[in-house]
Amino acid sequence: MEKLANKKLFLFLIFIFLLVLFFIFKNKAVKLEKNEHTGVFFKKPFPLIKLNPKNNLIDPTSFLIIVENETSTNSFFSKLESRFGSIEGKMVKVSGELLTGNGARFIKISNEHEAVGVLENQNIYPSEQTKTKKINLDGKIIDLKCVTKNDFSMECFQENLYKGVIPALRILRNKENIDYLLKIEDYKLIDNYLKNNFETIVKIFGGYYYQNGFNVINLDSISNVK
């Protein structure tokens, strides 16, 4: 009987160990190999590239751009356009690494301007945006870059906040996480959130629109959920 009990305990511990490993790898950021990708570049709501189906994607999918060793993605592309002219709405080729995990979508590219190649001279792809409407939603404010690393700490959030990395409101709808990128003018709203409501469900008020593959909210205010 004692041997049987020990065997059951051993099997139970193995099961728990495998279960923990499963959740670790499930939530870990998925890194695809650095390859060349073609797609259309847009500046708004934040610098992004909409990859076309030739990139082994079922549908055109938008990825927010992270630039290696750059604190500001906007600054990188401003310098690039000062040399080569506007690339808004143009087909481009970039060498980068797709980062996905926990629902976030990024492409990490080199900080060398030569790593971005413009394939067309004309801005022939129009930016898409729906009309803005007032909205209020309950959810958690997250840092998408931290999410890809499975790091939900305040330290990671604060480290990225003033580097131009995009915070988002994440809501759970029909058992699926949906993210709304937050456009912020008054960063005191986020400072107060970090001090008083970090990792809690809050209510967001603002102007909602859909732009180039992403849900976006122009943030007006944040309040507690009662």
Query: Between 225 and 136, where is the model more confident?
Result: 136
Q: pLDDT for 104-162, tens place per residue?
A: 899 999 888 788 888 888 877 888 899 999 999 999 999 888 888 888 888 888 877 76
Decide the pairing of beta strands 91-101 and 35-42: antiparallel
Domain 133-224 in CATH 2.60.40: no
Length of the chain, in residues? 226
Q: Which CATH architecture has domain 30-118?
A: Beta Barrel (2.40)
Position 181 scores a pLDDT of 95
Position 27 scores a pLDDT of 43
**Domain boundaries defined on the chain:** 30-118, 133-224
Position 31 scores a pLDDT of 47
Position 28 scores a pLDDT of 43
Position 43 scores a pLDDT of 92
pTM passes above 0.85: no
Q: Which of 91-95, 118-122, 209-213, 214-218 has the lowest mean pLDDT?
A: 118-122
Q: pLDDT for 24-61, tens place per residue?
A: 444 444 444 568 889 999 999 999 999 875 554 445 68
Query: Between 208 and 100, where is the model more confident?
Result: 208
Query: Between 22 and 49, where is the model more confident?
Result: 49
Q: pLDDT for 74-94, tens place per residue?
A: 888 888 888 888 999 999 999
Q: Which of 35, 32, 33, 45 is nearest to 93 (CA)?
A: 35
Q: Is the fold of 30-118 the same as that of 133-224?
A: yes
Question: What is the C-alpha separation between 180 and 167, in angstroms, rounded?
Answer: 9
Position 17 scores a pLDDT of 53
- Please check whether residue 66 is in contact with residue 141, taking contact to mean a CB–CB distance below 8 angstroms: no
Query: Between 11 and 213, where is the model more confident?
Result: 213
Position 99 confidence tier, pLDDT thresholds 50, 70, 90: confident
Position 61 scores a pLDDT of 86
Residue 146: phi and psi, rounded to 5, are -65, -35
